[in-house]
Structure 1
Amino acid sequence: MNAGSYLGLHIEETAVKIAILGAGALGCAIGAALTEGGNEVWLLNRSAAHVEAMRRDGLQVDDANGSRRVKVLATTRAAEAGAVDLVVVLVKSFHTDAAMRGALELIGAETLVLSLQNGLGHEDVLADIVGRERVLAGKTYIGGVMRNPGHIESGVTGKATYIGELDGRITPRAMAIAETFNAAGLATTVSDNIVGTMWDKLLVNVATGALTGATGLTYGQLYDEPLLKTTALAAVAEAMAVAQAAGVKLSTTDPERPWTLAGEGLSLAFKTSMLQSLEKGSITEIDFINGAVVRWGQRHGVPTPVNATLVACIKGIERAMTDRQHSNNLHGTRVSAEAPTLVDRNVLHGTRVSAKAPTLVDNGDNRMNGSKAYLEHVAIWVKDIHWHIRFFEDVLGMTMREVDGTREEPRQYWTLGGLQFIHAPCHEEPEGRLAHLGVMCEDMEAALAAAQRYGVSEMPQGRNWLRLPDGLAVELIQARPASCVARALEINPRAEV
């Protein structure tokens, strides 16, 4: 790809059009600096409340210089921003594929894509979507904390950012991006060893993230506890041994350096992104940080017991968090003492159950449920689409309903049983990843209207595509005729005869 337009634009003008994909605390900190540097910066976030606050009042930024409001461009829809010169990817690691595929309107003929995410492997995911020739990788030590929608605490001063080409070349386009960042006060260096640079940042995350997530401590509290420092240094030493075995060139061989670097320039009250995720009830990026060390260690025969233990602890906290949320969903409805019946579907959906109506099964005639719908297909990203086609056809007789591409080279494949496979060759996990749910509706317009009460956002694919607040994508489909939904719901394949 001829990607010289970014460099040409930077030389001819001073403003560059940039999209921050995943404008949370860190993305907003970087985006605010780039905006104040005179660039046209779009902050993309799926939180309607966060975006609306920024559009209405500007972005409130608290930092070492005090508090100020920055007038920013913010949106939940990539289409509103349109094609940009540079996409800076800062979504959570596990959202990379879905976020980029849902923001392809940002990609023009000469757009570059720069990942500044925590962990390892994002550049391969992005390359599979937009082409490897567009992708640059990087790491940043900038910090940010979300205080409220449209309000962040920023830690930019004195925090370094490194970017580079995947093949290690020092190119004019990488230098131009660094110049844009530096002009906005973001200390940025072009690296000829970006893989080593990414490992350098990984070591910082390994040193502090899981420990603060497991203990609930801020940076100040963490650095005040000698026992935790000992554990942090042991985890970093393991990661360094793994990197050495993998042939990665690190900037230091001293475990103290990442430990010290993690807290430099940040207030004692700052919290790691892993702790922030847990406090918000979200899953963490542990699989891409300490989990990456464990996987690479297994690959290269290096033991990683400390990192494996930290992964297990965070996974345990996530499990407990999920169980609590599930329990709250089950028991969050007030049920009369006169009707201590088994939990039914009404309880699961938050409906108050009358003492005189302890219904255990909704027979379908309760119109308060609104327009009926059913799950028509489940879309899954798979690494080997041909294997999945053969398995589900040979074992379960689920033959082809539709194909995108040809049968010999399918990009997507739908079975009569309701599965949709999406070919994703870079997928490395032991199971498929959920892409979206396809829901067949009796009245799609009524469902879309009702959905607005739940804070969903419209996806770039169309107004019938909804992104739920926790990230799940749902495609609503109008049944033709509408009566098909009722007929489908009448079928009970588990009924005894």
Structure 2
Amino acid sequence: MKIAIFGAGSTGCYLAGQLCLSGFDVSLICRPAMKQTILANNGITISDYQGLLKTVMPQAMITDIEQAPTAYAAFDVIFVTLKCHQISSIANTLIAITHSNSSIIFMQNGLGSFETIKDALSHCHLLQGITPFNVLQQASGRFHKGTEGVFTFQQNNHTQTIQAAMQAQGFGCDFYQDITPVIYGKLLLNLNNALNAIADLPIKQQLSQRACRCQLAGAMKEWLAVCKAADIKLHQFTKVKPQWLPVILSLPDMLFNLLAKQMLDIDPQARSSMWEDIQAKRKTEIEYINGAVVRLGEQYGIKTPVNSAIVTSIHQLEQSI
């Protein structure tokens, strides 16, 4: 099975590391700077908050995607880990590097990007997936998983093979036939991405402050109200049901620390991917996360002032860079 990671940033490199260690032929489609970082450090190093530390070199690193169809055979599986706003422009490239039995797995946060491209790729199998944990790029080509969770994919023959190989190496991997409740449930947790960027603090430190938690609780309440109006059920990622998360987040610090130990069982330095984008002066995915809450709120007649304010704040940070 020939696998490509298209748009290999922090999450893509972490996924590539796990796939390489699971015995797959993995190529990265990445920026020249990422290739240089990996070569300079003799491979991709993946680590996590529980002590994992392994280094592996991918089969190939492609920086000129226009040469990929002639220089490499078509890929059996492509994981697309680009940002949401980059998805709509890559259909022709994906057609050129796939075959009729290829699986393309879109791993974007938020809502809306998949719909911009799916009609153009009817020649192969299209799936979606999520990364329900935080990955931060560190020095020396190291990609660190700072929170709990495992890669989650929509189910087909390719992802079943990948799951078996990853689990054999001790890596968790989940899959579902119906991925929609999972994606909508993940969005509830992703609402903190922007708040973490605004707070400019490690996630653990941010969640230790009640004022920050109450902002997140307000954003979550709005998304839960939208989902109720749209009759959308959310997958449960935490020990408590999604509806209870805003209640727990709003508790005084002493009670929160007592009841939410698992929520705080994360790497002390973990930060959100949106914080990383702001620091790197990159465009964020705010319109596909908190912005999606606002748009669906308008559609279903639900007011979303908290998420609207968050979107405005992130756009101000983007403009300031």
TM-score for the superposition, normalised by structure 1: 0.56
Matched, 1:45 2:30: yes
Report the CA distance shift for 1:183/1:295 in structure 2 as closer, same or farther (over 3 A).
Answer: farther
For each residue in 1:143-164, what CA deviation from the matched residue of structure 2 results, as whole angstroms up to 9, or x when unmatched?
A: 211224x612321884133322
Question: Deviation of residue 76 (structure 1)?
Answer: 1.2
Question: Deviation of residue 100 (structure 1)?
Answer: 4.4
1:466 aligned partner: none
Show the 5 A alignment for 1:228-247.
Answer: 228-247=212-231
1:195 aligned partner: 180
2:56 aligned partner: 70
C-alpha separation between the residues in 2 aligned to 1:83 and 1:156?
34
Which has the larger helix fraction?
A: 2
Matched to 1:213, the amino acid is A
C-alpha separation between the residues in 1 aligned to 2:164 and 2:52?
26
SS in 1 for 2:287: helix
1:93 aligned partner: 84
Matched, 1:254 2:243: yes
Report the CA distance shift for 1:183/1:116 in structure 2 as closer, same or farther (over 3 A).
Answer: farther
Question: Deviation of residue 266 (structure 1)?
Answer: 3.2
Question: Deviation of residue 320 (structure 1)?
Answer: 2.0
C-alpha separation between the residues in 2 aligned to 1:214 and 1:302?
24
Q: Is the 8 A contact 1:156 1:186 kept in 2?
A: no
Report the CA distance shift for 1:87/1:183 in structure 2 as closer, same or farther (over 3 A).
Answer: farther
SS in 2 for 1:254: helix
SS in 2 for 1:193: coil
Q: Is the 8 A contact 1:54 1:74 kept in 2?
A: no
C-alpha separation between the residues in 2 aligned to 1:81 and 1:32?
20
Matched, 1:58 2:49: no
2:93 aligned partner: 102
Q: Which runs of 5+ in 1 are unaligned?
A: 1-15, 166-170, 322-497
Matched to 1:155, the amino acid is K
2:121 aligned partner: 130
Matched to 1:25, the amino acid is S
Report the CA distance shift for 1:66/1:200 in structure 2 as closer, same or farther (over 3 A).
Answer: closer
2:152 pairs with one of 162, 168, 186: 162
Q: Pairwise CA RMSD of aligned residues?
A: 2.6
Show the 5 A alignment for 1:345-364.
Answer: none
Report the CA distance shift for 1:217/1:100 in structure 2 as closer, same or farther (over 3 A).
Answer: farther
Matched, 1:205 2:190: yes
C-alpha separation between the residues in 2 aligned to 1:215 and 1:69?
32
2:109 aligned partner: 118
Q: Is the 8 A contact 1:205 1:262 kept in 2?
A: no
Matched to 1:290, the amino acid is N
Report the CA distance shift for 1:60/1:140 in structure 2 as closer, same or farther (over 3 A).
Answer: closer
Matched to 1:95, the amino acid is Q
Question: Deviation of residue 66 (structure 1)?
Answer: 5.6
C-alpha separation between the residues in 2 aligned to 1:157 and 1:278?
20
Show the 5 A alignment for 1:262-281.
Answer: 266-281=266-281
Q: Is the 8 A contact 2:147 2:267 kept in 1?
A: no
Q: Is the 8 A contact 1:45 1:51 kept in 2?
A: yes
Question: Deviation of residue 27 (structure 1)?
Answer: 0.6
1:303 aligned partner: 303
Report the CA distance shift for 1:278/1:124 in structure 2 as closer, same or farther (over 3 A).
Answer: same
Matched to 1:105, the amino acid is A
Q: Is the 8 A contact 1:43 1:75 kept in 2?
A: yes
Greater Rg over alpha carbons, structure: 1
For each residue in 1:284-328, what CA deviation from the matched residue of structure 2 results, as whole angstroms up to 9, or x when unmatched?
A: 10000000010011111111111111111111111222xxxxxxx
Question: Deviation of residue 172 (structure 1)?
Answer: 4.4
Report the CA distance shift for 1:253/1:204 in structure 2 as closer, same or farther (over 3 A).
Answer: closer
C-alpha separation between the residues in 2 aligned to 1:195 and 1:238?
19
For each residue in 1:470-492, what CA deviation from the matched residue of structure 2 results, as whole angstroms up to 9, or x when unmatched?
A: xxxxxxxxxxxxxxxxxxxxxxx
2:130 pairs with one of 139, 143, 148: 139
Matched to 1:65, the amino acid is G
For each residue in 1:392-412, what CA deviation from the matched residue of structure 2 results, as whole angstroms up to 9, or x when unmatched?
A: xxxxxxxxxxxxxxxxxxxxx
SS in 2 for 1:38: coil
For each residue in 1:354-405, what CA deviation from the matched residue of structure 2 results, as whole angstroms up to 9, or x when unmatched?
A: xxxxxxxxxxxxxxxxxxxxxxxxxxxxxxxxxxxxxxxxxxxxxxxxxxxx
Report the CA distance shift for 1:253/1:71 in structure 2 as closer, same or farther (over 3 A).
Answer: closer
Question: Deviation of residue 113 (structure 1)?
Answer: 0.7
SS in 1 for 2:111: coil
Q: Is the 8 A contact 1:155 1:265 kept in 2?
A: no
Q: Is the 8 A contact 1:61 1:153 kept in 2?
A: yes
Moved more, 130-139 or 296-305: 130-139
Highest RCO, 1 vs 2 (Cα 8 Å, sep ≥ 6): 2
TM-score for the superposition, normalised by structure 2: 0.84
Which has the larger strand fraction?
A: 1
Matched to 2:119, the amino acid is D
Report the CA distance shift for 1:138/1:317 in structure 2 as closer, same or farther (over 3 A).
Answer: same
For each residue in 1:313-357, what CA deviation from the matched residue of structure 2 results, as whole angstroms up to 9, or x when unmatched?
A: 111111222xxxxxxxxxxxxxxxxxxxxxxxxxxxxxxxxxxxx
C-alpha separation between the residues in 1 aligned to 2:146 and 2:198?
26
C-alpha separation between the residues in 1 aligned to 2:81 and 2:319?
25
1:293 aligned partner: 293
Report the CA distance shift for 1:109/1:262 in structure 2 as closer, same or farther (over 3 A).
Answer: farther
Report the CA distance shift for 1:261/1:98 in structure 2 as closer, same or farther (over 3 A).
Answer: farther
